[in-house]
Amino acid sequence: MMNMTPVVKQLLIINIIFFIGSQLVPISYEYLAMFFPENSSFQVWQPITHMFMHGGIMHIAFNMFAMVSFGSALEHFWGGKKFLFFYISCGLGSALLHTAVNYYFFQDTINVLTSHGFQKEEILKLLGEGKIDTRWQDLVSVAQFNGFTDAYIGTIVGASGAIYGLLTAFAFMFPNAELALMFIPVPIKAKYFVPGILAVDLFLGFKGGSLFGSGGTGIAHFAHIGGAITGFLMMLYWKKNQFNNNRWN
């Protein structure tokens, strides 16, 4: 593993501070995790702060291990400013796709309900109070109803979207580097490894016919996809403009 680079080290420290703080002050999740934009708990800073929050020790441990492993290699070649810009951009792209998918299908259910005489304001009011009207369940499928409510009350936390952007950039720059997961003992080249885990995320995101973020797994799979897409598009742009070989500092 390459020595930890300065910006990666600072991000690691910030994530650990956020994690310890969230364990000591659990209510911080209500302000720093990212809520659905229609939810009254949504705040404009949450697209940034959510990527420094984590749901448990294994969650932060895996993300920080990946950030140190892949982020240090990228920062070494790019420099700190370019690396930080890329990291934050992938985190924001992750939140954007996750929210866009949720919003599309949330609005689709809202349209069904309003077409049957329910008022949007009353629907949001009930959801905001943690309640539902059982008549809604008669108008949509179980998967659609569960996704509808999950989209509204659910939150996303974690650096995973930004990490997937780093993985994509690493595979873009070092396609023949061999990587391995703990449960896959055979090393796999990055150019196959990263598309493979993205394919798994895409499958799980669609699992059960639901597109509402987690696909029933409790993981925001489309947030992962969003981070990876953002990273891939940025790498293509930088390559086209011969920016990928220049340090910003």
pLDDT exceeds 90 at position 87: yes
Q: Residue 165: is it exposed, middle or buried by C-beta count within 10 angstroms (0-12/13-18/19+)?
A: buried
Give the pLDDT confidence score for residue 71 in this predicted structure.
94
Share of the chain above pLDDT 70, in %: 88
Question: Are the beta carbons of 157 and 54 closer than 8 angstroms?
Answer: yes
Give the pLDDT confidence score for residue 219 in this predicted structure.
60
Cα separation, 99 vs 6, whole angstroms:
31
Give the pLDDT confidence score for residue 243 in this predicted structure.
53
Q: Residue 121: is it exposed, middle or buried by C-beta count within 10 angstroms (0-12/13-18/19+)?
A: exposed
pLDDT exceeds 70 at position 209: no
pLDDT exceeds 70 at position 239: yes
Give the global pTM. 0.86
pLDDT exceeds 70 at position 247: no
Q: Residue 179's beta-bridge partner residues?
A: 188
Instruction: Return the higher-pLDDT residue of 225 and 184.
Output: 225
Q: How many Cβ atoms are within 10 Å of 111's Cβ, its own excluded?
A: 11
Question: Is the CATH number 3.40.50.720 carried by domain 6-241?
Answer: no
Mean pLDDT, all residues of the chain: 86
Which tens digits make up the pLDDT trace of 136-180? 999 998 888 888 888 898 889 999 999 999 999 999 998 888 776
